[in-house]
Amino acid sequence: MHTSTEDDQQATADPVDVDDLAASDDGPTVPELDPEAALLCALLHTADTAEARHITAQLIEDDFLNPRYGQLFAVLAELVAAEEPHHAPRVLAALSNGGRLAGHHGQLLADALQTVTLLGTPAVGLRTL
């Protein structure tokens, strides 16, 4: 009979996602206090397309400390530039259609989208964010 050892448990552990470590070191751990998350939430919920165009013209994906938030912003910016709806279900569809939701990284991206979608930041102060 084989008994589980500490070595067996380490061998089956999930690999560490380097993006997770970078994101956890660089940004706030409470989404409600994270200005990047607040900006994305307001951008997802704004109906003011002129304001959305203005914001997406000022930033790029690399401006975000959290790499997943940067990736979400890039998708949002593409949708805004194409004059398509940029609400959460449309962003999710764009991610899915682009094959970006596969595997562990895809799950983290979907979780980040859910976090910012449900944050509750009002779209009224979008430019301030």
DSSP letter string, 93-113: HHHHHTTTT-HHHHHHHHHHH
Q: What residue spans define the domains of the chain? A: 34-122
* Distance in angstroms between the alpha carbons of the first and the last residue of the chain: 60
pLDDT reported for residue 21? 47
- The pTM assigned to this predicted structure is 0.75
Which tops the pLDDT comparison, 111 or 13? 111
Res 14 pLDDT > 60 = no
| pLDDT band per the 50, 70, 90 thresholds, residue 128 | confident
Fold of 34-122: DNAb Helicase; Chain A (1.10.860)
pLDDT reported for residue 124? 81
| pLDDT band per the 50, 70, 90 thresholds, residue 125 | confident
How many CA atoms lie less than 13 Å away from 58 in the CB half-sphere? 12
